[in-house]
Amino acid sequence: MATRIDVNGLTAYYGKFKAVADVNLTIEPKNVTAFIGPSGCGKSTVLRTLNRMHEVLPGARVEGRVLLDGEDLYGAGMDPVNVRRTVGMVFQRPNPFPTMSIYENVIAGLKLNGVRKKALLDERVEESLRGANLWEEVKDRLGRPGAGLSGGQQQRLCIARAIAVEPQVLLMDEPCSALDPISTLAIEDLITKLKSSFTIVIVTHNMQQASRVSDATAFFSLEKTGDPGRLVEFDKTSKIFSNPTEKRTEDYVSGRFG
């Protein structure tokens, strides 16, 4: 199933401000690709261009192409709503809908797509929660508010919510940065498991995490504040962390910078 993403000459703006310039990379299907780099270099921005969430912000726009199995997301006739259903997203802070129960949170996306049959919904809820390694912990309290869970559980609930609509790609923006080490480990395990079904892109500040979970790593950086961020190096994770081509990458991954 999962899908390949080709990013060609991507430049993203916030109003007049050019946040990232000329990014080219290819994200392989059923792989975990990590985005690393110093704060403000545009990792989140690039990630959000991959499912057209960037343009949701007022004044934000994108140049260049993002091909999903050869189809340009930004081409004519593309529907951002369908794009976002195909390319799911998990955010930095867990954000379950506060007015919904655990069950309702998981089926939120399905309901939007018109799935109404109770049996099918029940099945999907269990499947998604199992997929997110959360089922055993919440199966007895599906009717309770999603916001009543712990931070780590909430984040897994958000992952369950994202995979319930069966996307092709899962984007994760620092999914563990608000979590404790144990919950972080649980999410990392989950990512490793999920990559058998999804193409995964993850932004992280944690070098160990990048080297633990990812197959390929993209290192972004920027010359100085005010300049647009750029992709410095993109390669297999093992290569980036052991023997990068660029001096700047080496400085960064070895902790001499940022």
- Looking at residue 227, the DSSP 8-state letter turns out to be B
Give the chain's length: 258
Closest-approach residue to Mg ion (CB): 44
Which of helix, strand or coil describes residue 232?
A: strand
Which residues within the stretch 196-225 sit at the binding site for another protein (CB under 8 A)?
A: 215-216
Which of residues 91 and 135 has its CB atom nearest to another protein in the complex?
91
Count of chain residues binding Mg ion (CB under 5 A): 1
Query: In whole angstroms, how close is the CB of 40 to ligand ATP at the nearest point?
Result: 4
Question: DSSP readout, 11-77?
Answer: EEEETTEEEEEEEEEEE-TT-EEEEE-STTSSHHHHHHHTTT-GGGSTTEEEEEEEEETTEETTSTT
Site of tokens 């989950």: 190
Instruction: Assess 44 for contact with Mg ion (CB under 5 A).
Output: yes
Strand order in the sheet with 60-68: 17-27, 5-14, 60-68, 71-72
Q: Does 237 bind Mg ion (CB under 5 A)?
A: no
Residue 235's DSSP bridge partners are: 217
Is 178 a binder of another protein (CB under 8 A)? Answer: no
For β-strands 17-27 and 230-236, DSSP reports them as unpaired
One character per residue 51-90, x = contact with another protein (rule: CB under 8 A): x-x--x-xx--------xxxx-x-x-xxx-xxxxxx-xx-
Interface ranges with another protein (CB under 8 A): 1-4, 28-31, 51, 53, 56, 58-59, 68-71, 73, 75, 77-79, 81-86, 88-89, 91, 93, 95-100, 108-109, 112-114, 145, 147-148, 158, 161-162, 165, 168, 215-216, 236
Interface ranges with Mg ion (CB under 5 A): 44
